[in-house]
Structure 1
Amino acid sequence: MQILPSLFQLGYLPIICAQRSLFSSPSPKAQGSTKLLRLDDCSLLTPTFDDLASALSSNQTLTELNLNNNELGDSGVEKLCKGLMNSSCKLEKLWLQNCNPELGTCCRESPFCDRAKPSLTDPHTGDNRLGTSGAKVLCEGLLDPNCQLQKLHLDYCELSARNAEDLSSVLHTKTSLIELNLSNNKLGDAAVKQLCGGLLDSNCKMQSLQLENCRITAGSCGDLGTVLSTKPSLRELCIGENKIGDAGAALLCQGVLNPNCKVEKLWLWECDFSAASCKDLANVIRTKESLKEMSLIGNDLKDEGMEHLCEGLKDPKAAIQSLWLRECGLTKACCKSVASVLSKNNSLKELQIGGNNLQDEGVAQICEGLMDPSCTLESIWLGNSELTSACCDKLATIIATSQCLTELEVSNNELKDKGVRKLCEAVRNPNCRLQQLILYDIFWSTKIDDELKALEESKPGFKAIF
């Protein structure tokens, strides 16, 4: 590994790919212009980091370094920080996910907390054992007025409710911070309440907040709703895998409906919603023109809830572009309403509705909507929907004739050779605009393998993914 410094200093390595040869061939054009270095999953050893630190001190063009999934440990991180703290280092993005340092110790050396390293604005330190004490040290560094951190990723870092006060202080004072990921930490409602206090500060310019699987309930949703209604900078809220229930949904929707709310993305998967929540969610869909993406995956909405959502989607003011409804307890009974949406809604571009018991009959009805000349859908996911080859005639017609559909996913269905062959024949149609056909976990013969490969070769711009 003694080759590291010289290669860095000479400006080789345009991109280093994970799990491949560490170094690409030198190119005269690449010399002095290295921007991205990927060493993720490379089984790096501690002695390597002396060389890496030296290289970072010499290369002024490197702006992004990925070291994910290497056993750095404390000593590796500390050596790395020596290079990062050199005034010649201009690194902006650093990926240290799952590197197993005891960050409670090495956070004291953390370069993105130090006043001498304002260039580093986007460190990814998730999936490390930061712990309560490590997070406290980290927050103390973040409060330095010279720290210009923009994104803070602390997911899977073993944080607790005791970290909320320090994190809230950061939110009160750090105007540069626009993205915060605290997902998969045991925070709870009391901690979220404290965080919301920081988010409401006029100094806070937060744009993206991720609190998925943080043990919060409906008790947090009033505070989160207040943040949504008073913080127009907040464009993305992800609180999936929290049992907030229908009561929580009502409070959140109340905040979203406030004219001050400009949220564009709501990730609400596995939030214990029922059909009752869909009335409020449908009202949001028909009213909030800023909203572009919503995930409701894993909520037991059933056909009744889907009917409510469809009413919202058919409203002329509905502006949502991407809607994820996988595993929501839907059946073929709601598919006629879905088809009606596809024929009337001109904003929806992506619909993920797989993982539901739609069956061939339901998909046939959805295809009627896809065939409507007014339909503008570009991507539909129908995987794991209890389909057989019987629905493939309809799907083939869509593939061959639709001028807008570019992605179709039908994974984990019993299509077999007969069904897949029909889809392939449709792709060969010169009018076909499909770019991706996703076919994971479908059993077919080796002949179909050959046909799919030949199809890719004969159809530029088309990709079969299986």
Structure 2
Amino acid sequence: MKHGWALICIFGKYFHHPDHIHLAYGYLTFLKSCAAEEACDHLCKALDVNPLLLKELNLSHNKLGDLDGEKLSALLMDSHSKVTKIILNDCELTENQCSALAAVLSCKTLVKEMNLSNSPLMDSGLKHICDQLKNPQCQLQILNVSECSIGEEGYKCLYSAVRSNPESHLIELDLRGNDPGETGVKLIYQLLHDHNCELNTVRFLKSCAAEEACDHLCKALDVNPLLLKELNLSHNKLGDLDGEKLSALLMDSHSKVTKIILNDCELTENQCSALAAVLSCKTLVKEMNLSNSPLMDSGLKHICDQLKNPQCQLQILNVSECRIGEEGYKCLCSAVRSNPESHLIELDLRGNDPGETGVKLIYQLIEDHKCKLNTVRFLKSDAAVEAFEYLKNILHINPLLQREVNLSDHKLDESRVNQICDLLKDKHCRINTLM
């Protein structure tokens, strides 16, 4: 009966009790089961209000206490419960509690919103929820399972549950702070684009900064960046997007970008610093191309600071034509050498100026058996590379480590002379005497 509690208050004098009213002429009991009565009594003390009077039941930060999940479910499933929204944020829910709570969704209760965030549900706990989402009687519209240690299997389970139930009422889903694996995001996006599915809002990204970056890139690239493994923002598609916001996006567990290309983006030192932060945690970024930007030694230093971090997964770094000088080369060498866990295997330094010692230092890294670095590009033109290979083969030397080269015993045709001229013009070549 609507307003039933208020009407009882009019009819007689009563003493406050969670599940029944002591009237002048006796007791009136609302709840069908002892389990529901126990839950009601527990919550009345914990919240200082009778839960039968609430539409929103907030038990966040473990107000649930030692209340059995099955007893709470019994209360919520009772016809006298008018709760439509239950919040159990940061309640350290166990799998058994999750199973009991999921039962609430299996019958026509009024519960339309459930927040289970910041609990270690994992895939096994979420599976209990998904089993009930398949039920045509389930009325749930909003589900928040952010920061619940859910992995790829959990995402698959959600996808399957919602798709298998044409009567599903689910319209909003919060998955922030979980790990979708390789396919999770793609599967959920398929639900969003399914005209037979009512789901229209999914939250993946933890921070406002990441959301802003995602929105910006959606417009700039005409594709959702959460669906990309290679993010190409060359020729200033980055626009006025703040470097910190881009970094926030790349560091989110829902980003699957492994390769980022920022060629010819005129990156500032501050942007470089923000992007470098991406390398400091276990993101999936393994390749970074920052070529044709005036990073200089100061910008490269931010990258080097993160290359020292054992968590850095970067394998390929392209900083060609970035106005890097001898100090930058020293910095790179020091960073890679200081990190025995370094994954860096390929480096592009073309178009920079190594000074007197830069090339030698990098070659020392290549020859260091403790270092994984095995490919370095120094020379800008194909002709210079051809000359390098020719001199290396006929003289059995590394031309980039020589000051003097003697070719007096070798006959050179015009094309070979032109190639050698290209090599001599390259800043990575220190030859000053040619005989």
Normalising by structure 1, what TM-score?
0.39
Greater C-alpha Rg: 2
Normalising by structure 2, what TM-score?
0.41
